Chains A and B, each alone.
Chain A
Amino acid sequence: MTPTALPVLTKKDFQTDQEVRWCPGCGDYAILSAVQSVFPELGIPREKFVIVSGIGCSSRFPYYMNTFGFHSIHGRAPAVATGVKLANPDLEVWVATGDGDSLSIGGNHTIHMLRRNVGIKVLMFNNRIYGLTKGQYSPTSEFGKKTKSTPYGSDARPFNPLALAIGAETTFVARSVDVMQGHLKEVLKKAAAHRGSAYIEILQNCNIFNDGAWFHLTEKDARSEHIVHLEHGKPLVFGKNRDKGIRMNGLDLEVVQLGNGVREGDLLIHDEEYRNPTYAFLLSKMEELPGFPTPIGVLRSWNDVPRYEDIVANQVKEVTAKKGVGDIAQLLHAGDTWEVK
């Protein structure tokens, strides 16, 4: 027996006839393009994809993807998506969200979806600003940032999105950058292959309200000095000349210069499956230390944690196997009954 061949899909199959209404030059275009390139390669029929979003620039995403799509309300995409997944665990459900949508108004839904390990992939577009409401500071804006709502500088410490996701026991945590198409596509593919929750922070530029949000990471010359690529089984090396590395020193990380007796073998070898949560947490906090690069790639990938929707569906199956398919007459007559003649 030969399996029914899946129709070969192309990027074009995932484009809609709707006019894309992001500002010219917005980082969202690059993310859309990457997703439209990756989806046809996954071997999943188009009708199985559901993209759910909340509110914000990023949340217009479903309108531009020719899949099933649900543009819901502010912050609630993870909850809507959880309902979709519970009603049909076979669907391939992705959430498009932003730093305000996911971490401010939707913070509660985000952490609960992640701790349950619902098989949903979250694309969190982080531009560190509220764009659709025209430029207020967001939960990831730098402390002291001057915005329309913080003319004297922001007064609140920002969230570190990946540290938050790791704290919520997320089984797949990764970071990529809008302008690094090749890297972004690889991360998306890895996320797609993950069974449980995936939280992907995509550093994205808002050229209108927060231009250069990630300039220190995206600017060609500085890029390799400020970014360390996380690759499973490989040492943490960075720098234009790949001459710097990161190693453990007690319970801390330290940046070291390679050479003078320091070899790659002394460095931290990345293990995305490492079970001690402290490891991924250290990686997520690295960028906050002076002199440290920002890690991109997969910080954690635990693929053996049961998915929420499977646990729920199995319970239904097990109870049905034990009790038999529910009989309505029995249901109505349950408990003590009596006859009136």
Chain B
Amino acid sequence: MATVTNPIVKQKQVIDKAVVRFAGDSGDGMQISGSQFTNTVALAGNDLATFPDYPAEIRAPAGTLPGVSGYQIQFSSSDIYTPGDSVDVLVAMNPAALKVNLKDLKSNGILIVNNDSFTDADLKKAQQTSNPLEDHSLDGYRLFSVPLERLTHSALEGLGLDAKSMNRCKNFFALGMTYWLYNRSMDHTYRWLDEKFQKKPLLAEANKLAMKAGYSYCEATEAFQVSYEIPPAKLAPGTYRNLSGNQALAIGFVVAARQAGLPLFLGSYPITPASDILHELSMYKNFGVTTFQAEDEIAAITSAIGASYTGALAMTTTSGPGMALKTEAMGLAAMVELPIVIVDVQRGGPSTGLPTKTEQADLLQAMFSRNSEAPLPILAACTPGDCFAVAIEACRIALKYMIPVIVLTDGYLANGAEPWLIPSVDKLPKFPVKFVTSPEGFLPYKRDPDTLARPWAIPGTPGLEHRVGGIEKQDITGNVNYEPMNHERMVRIRAAKVEAIVQDIPDAVPAGDPDGDLLIVAWGSTYGAITAAMKTQRESGLRIGHVHLRHLNPFPRNLGQLFGRYRKVLVPEMNMGQLSLLLRAKYLVDAEGFNKIQGQPFKVAEMEKKIQEAVNGAGAKR
């Protein structure tokens, strides 16, 4: 029996925000620990942003550097925009996870290490020549070296589980420790375990015991002196849920179909990081959703075109390499002028590239990949929650203008999550669709004068039998036509139709200062880092404006007029400068690129530094 000593006096500190990262082998359940922690802090009312970072290999050899999987979350009592540059608490389940992630831990940060997996063999797999737990290389951190596996095993003793099954509970021991550190209730995770292991109550029990043991370990161990409390954030009033970008897109599409009064058709082929949209939509059959897992990317989009021809709200979802395969069919959709939505969840490229890492390098592909002149409208989402609004907006434009619309998100938005203010259903836009029903005056390419949309006449409608196809159309009749002047006219009409969408796009209003030192023009998932950096830089006296473009083709009508109000224009992008190329070409503006191509999002500190450099450079130039 343990001797009863003086009760340990523990301190509680109230802080504003924290960044926690769980890191381990891809089989260690780090994504589960991370998402459980996330849901728990979300339910407690914190603002948050997450960044799951996992390898492309499902299970790289255990314990090796390529097999390391991580999940990072920043949560706070005030507004936050990113998952955080550096980490306050790092949980490392093995030497490989430690080696890969240590560089991001703040100095004097909390480091929880599973010392049961630091044998010579483990160290060798992680290419470590000496044991960091013994060689003083971790002296700059608050190291908690914990026999996580042995403690988990002893907590589960008597349940009758084999060693392997017990081992698989150690992620919940680690989760329990972090719950203690941040004074969180374990109730949500208890409920989740009961639901998840409904048919295997023993496993639910085991994970609960492991989590409780982790919590109690911190409570009982003298080493853990301080725990932290982060009060709820002051978010806008309403009901919230936690939402990832891919989920947001999926439910946005379901809502759009309902608001349009159409059945939804998704043609898709599995590809990282877009597959979750297919998974999500395939659950919603009772919303009139048909999902078709096609034989390839081309069938995915061409089946969507066939469904659109037949009157469905049709879409296809993919990532960069799949987008490349769809290009010919996108040209067909542009030619037959049918509404479809094409989602590209961008990832690192070219070719297979970095399947699980993020990048924004498909903008020019979206702009120009079709053969000949085939401009298409392009929209981009800027946060996970924004994917919902962009999904609806893309469908609305596609249906109103009878045109294929491209939506760009990226791996960072797709897998990242944030608290999302649930909109009220009656405030969602409605855009009911009317098919042509009367043969009187029907001509397949006779257009609406405002939108240049052609009529949507679906098979099954008596008297409207007509033919469409990829061959050039005669204006108005839609008959096959090769005449030179007709072709030029049709090319210009198709381009004018894209341009006409500008009437549906609100003017750009810079966030921050309406004039001054620097205008930041950007798009997509860089939103959070730019917003956070701009806040600190404006507080330090710089005058900065920020335009974050949702519409990338066409641009808002007034965009060109904004550049002159600032001394300099900066365009941060996770690519070699694709938006800046478009801005330079269209507006002859001396836009400076800030480009990061590492498969990782911008850090706030990087952005702050660049803003300072850009402004100082601008000053020197004057």
The chain A residues found within 8 Å of chain B, CB to CB, are: 16, 18, 45-50, 52-53, 55, 62-63, 66-73, 76, 78-88, 90-91, 108-109, 112, 312, 315-316, 319-320, 322-326, 328-329, 331-341
A340 with B238: in contact, given A83-B292, A319-B285, A331-B287 (CB under 8 Å)? yes
- Minimal Cβ-Cβ distance residue in A for B44: A338
Q: Are A83 and B480 in contact (CB under 8 A)?
A: no
Bound form: Cα–Cα A217–B302 in Å? 37
Contacts of B468 in A (CB 8 A): 69-71
Bound form: Cα–Cα A46–B242 in Å? 50
Q: Are A83 and B303 in contact (CB under 8 A)?
A: yes
Q: Are A52 and B306 in contact (CB under 8 A)?
A: yes
Contacts of A68 in B (CB 8 A): 459, 464-467
Q: How far is the CB of B63 from chain A (nearest CB, A)?
A: 34
Residue-wise, chain B 355-398 has the 8 Å CB interface mask toward A (1 for contact) of 00000000000000000000000000000000000000000000
Q: Are A79 and B42 in contact (CB under 8 A)?
A: no
Q: List 12 A-B contacts (CB under 8 A).
A: A52-B306, A55-B470, A70-B469, A72-B305, A73-B329, A79-B298, A86-B307, A108-B295, A326-B284, A326-B287, A331-B255, A340-B239
A67 with B465: in contact, given A87-B310, A109-B295, A316-B290 (CB under 8 Å)? yes
The 8 Å CB contact of B310, one of A47, A91, A340, is A91
The 8 Å CB contact of A70, one of B44, B296, B309, is B309
Q: How far is the CB of B565 from chain A (nearest CB, A)?
A: 36
The 8 Å CB contact of A331, one of B242, B251, B288, B480, is B251
Contacts of B480 in A (CB 8 A): 18, 63
Q: How far is the CB of A326 from chain B (nearest CB, A)?
A: 3
B304 within 8 A of A: yes
Residue-wise, chain B 538-575 has the 8 Å CB interface mask toward A (1 for contact) of 00000000000000000000000000000000000000
Q: How many residues of B contact A (CB 8 A)?
A: 71
Bound form: Cα–Cα A72–B251 in Å? 30
Q: How far is the CB of A334 from chain B (nearest CB, A)?
A: 7
The 8 Å CB contact of A84, one of B254, B289, B310, is B310
Bound form: Cα–Cα A329–B426 in Å? 10
Looking at B255, B304, B307, the one whose CB has the most chain A CB atoms below 10 A away is B307
Contacts of A50 in B (CB 8 A): 310, 459
Give the secondary structure class of B's interface.
mixed
Q: Are B466 and A70 in contact (CB under 8 A)?
A: no
Looking at B306, B428, B470, the one whose CB has the most chain A CB atoms below 10 A away is B306
Bound form: Cα–Cα A84–B306 in Å? 5
Contacts of A336 in B (CB 8 A): 39, 42-43, 188, 241-242
Bound form: Cα–Cα A329–B251 in Å? 11
Contacts of B296 in A (CB 8 A): 108-109
- When A and B form their complex, which 8 residue pairs have the shortest distance between CB atoms, in order from nearest? A83-B306, A71-B469, A326-B287, A83-B303, A87-B310, A79-B299, A69-B467, A112-B295
Q: Are A320 and B45 in contact (CB under 8 A)?
A: no
The 8 Å CB contact of A340, one of B240, B292, B302, B462, is B240
Q: Are A87 and B460 in contact (CB under 8 A)?
A: no
- Minimal Cβ-Cβ distance residue in A for B40: A336
Bound form: Cα–Cα A289–B243 in Å? 63
Bound form: Cα–Cα A335–B248 in Å? 13
Bound form: Cα–Cα A112–B294 in Å? 9
Bound form: Cα–Cα A84–B307 in Å? 5
The 8 Å CB contact of B314, one of A83, A85, A91, A322, is A83
A88 with B310: in contact, given A48-B460, A73-B332, A80-B303 (CB under 8 Å)? yes
B404 within 8 A of A: no
Contacts of B465 in A (CB 8 A): 46-47, 49, 66-69
Contacts of A45 in B (CB 8 A): 462
Q: How far is the CB of B198 from chain A (nearest CB, A)?
A: 17
A335 with B286: in contact, given A72-B469, A76-B298 (CB under 8 Å)? no
Contacts of B302 in A (CB 8 A): 72-73, 76, 79-80, 83, 109
Contacts of B289 in A (CB 8 A): 316
Bound form: Cα–Cα A48–B460 in Å? 5
Contacts of A338 in B (CB 8 A): 42-45, 239-241
Bound form: Cα–Cα A83–B292 in Å? 9
B236 within 8 A of A: yes
Bound form: Cα–Cα A121–B459 in Å? 17
Q: Are B307 and A83 in contact (CB under 8 A)?
A: yes
Contacts of A48 in B (CB 8 A): 459-460
Given contacts A338-B42, A338-B44, 12 further A-B pairs with CB under 8 A are: A52-B306, A62-B469, A70-B306, A79-B303, A83-B314, A87-B265, A109-B298, A312-B292, A315-B285, A319-B285, A325-B286, A333-B422
- Minimal Cβ-Cβ distance residue in A for B284: A326
Bound form: Cα–Cα A55–B302 in Å? 14
Bound form: Cα–Cα A187–B425 in Å? 54
Contacts of B237 in A (CB 8 A): 340-341
Q: Are B310 and A332 in contact (CB under 8 A)?
A: no
Contacts of A315 in B (CB 8 A): 285
Bound form: Cα–Cα A72–B308 in Å? 13
- Minimal Cβ-Cβ distance residue in B for A315: B285
Contacts of B459 in A (CB 8 A): 47-50, 68, 84, 88, 91
Q: Are A71 and B467 in contact (CB under 8 A)?
A: yes
Contacts of B286 in A (CB 8 A): 316, 319-320, 322-326
Looking at A53, A312, A316, A340, the one whose CB has the most chain B CB atoms below 10 A away is A340
Residue-wise, chain B 229-266 has the 8 Å CB interface mask toward A (1 for contact) of 00010011111111000000001001100100001010
Q: Are A70 and B311 in contact (CB under 8 A)?
A: no
Looking at A69, A78, A83, the one whose CB has the most chain B CB atoms below 10 A away is A83
Q: Are A72 and B470 in contact (CB under 8 A)?
A: yes
- Minimal Cβ-Cβ distance residue in A for B234: A340
Bound form: Cα–Cα A52–B43 in Å? 52
Contacts of B236 in A (CB 8 A): 340
Looking at B240, B242, B303, the one whose CB has the most chain A CB atoms below 10 A away is B303
Q: How far is the CB of A57 from chain B (nearest CB, A)?
A: 13
Contacts of B312 in A (CB 8 A): 87
Contacts of A324 in B (CB 8 A): 286
- Minimal Cβ-Cβ distance residue in A for B294: A79
Contacts of A66 in B (CB 8 A): 465
Looking at A46, A48, A87, A325, the one whose CB has the most chain B CB atoms below 10 A away is A87
Q: How far is the CB of B113 from chain A (nearest CB, A)?
A: 31
Q: Are A332 and B42 in contact (CB under 8 A)?
A: no
B194 within 8 A of A: no
Q: How far is the CB of A88 from chain B (nearest CB, A)?
A: 5
Contacts of A328 in B (CB 8 A): 254-255, 258, 425, 428
Bound form: Cα–Cα A339–B239 in Å? 5
Residues from 307 to 326 in B contacting A, C-beta threshold 8 Å: 307-312, 314
Contacts of B601 in A (CB 8 A): none
Q: Are B287 and A47 in contact (CB under 8 A)?
A: no
B267 within 8 A of A: yes
Looking at B45, B251, B285, the one whose CB has the most chain A CB atoms below 10 A away is B285
Q: Are B254 and A80 in contact (CB under 8 A)?
A: no
Contacts of B467 in A (CB 8 A): 16, 62-63, 68-71
The 8 Å CB contact of A76, one of B263, B329, B422, is B329
B461 within 8 A of A: yes
Contacts of B258 in A (CB 8 A): 326, 328
Q: How far is the CB of B264 from chain A (nearest CB, A)?
A: 10
Looking at B188, B425, B469, the one whose CB has the most chain A CB atoms below 10 A away is B469
A84 with B309: in contact, given A333-B241, A340-B45 (CB under 8 Å)? yes
Bound form: Cα–Cα A335–B459 in Å? 39
Q: Are A337 and B470 in contact (CB under 8 A)?
A: no
Bound form: Cα–Cα A62–B466 in Å? 9
B617 within 8 A of A: no
Q: How far is the CB of B385 from chain A (nearest CB, A)?
A: 12
Q: Are A86 and B463 in contact (CB under 8 A)?
A: no
B227 within 8 A of A: no
Q: Are B462 and A47 in contact (CB under 8 A)?
A: yes
Looking at A45, A49, A78, A328, the one whose CB has the most chain B CB atoms below 10 A away is A328
Bound form: Cα–Cα A76–B327 in Å? 13
- Minimal Cβ-Cβ distance residue in B for A308: B292
Contacts of B463 in A (CB 8 A): 47
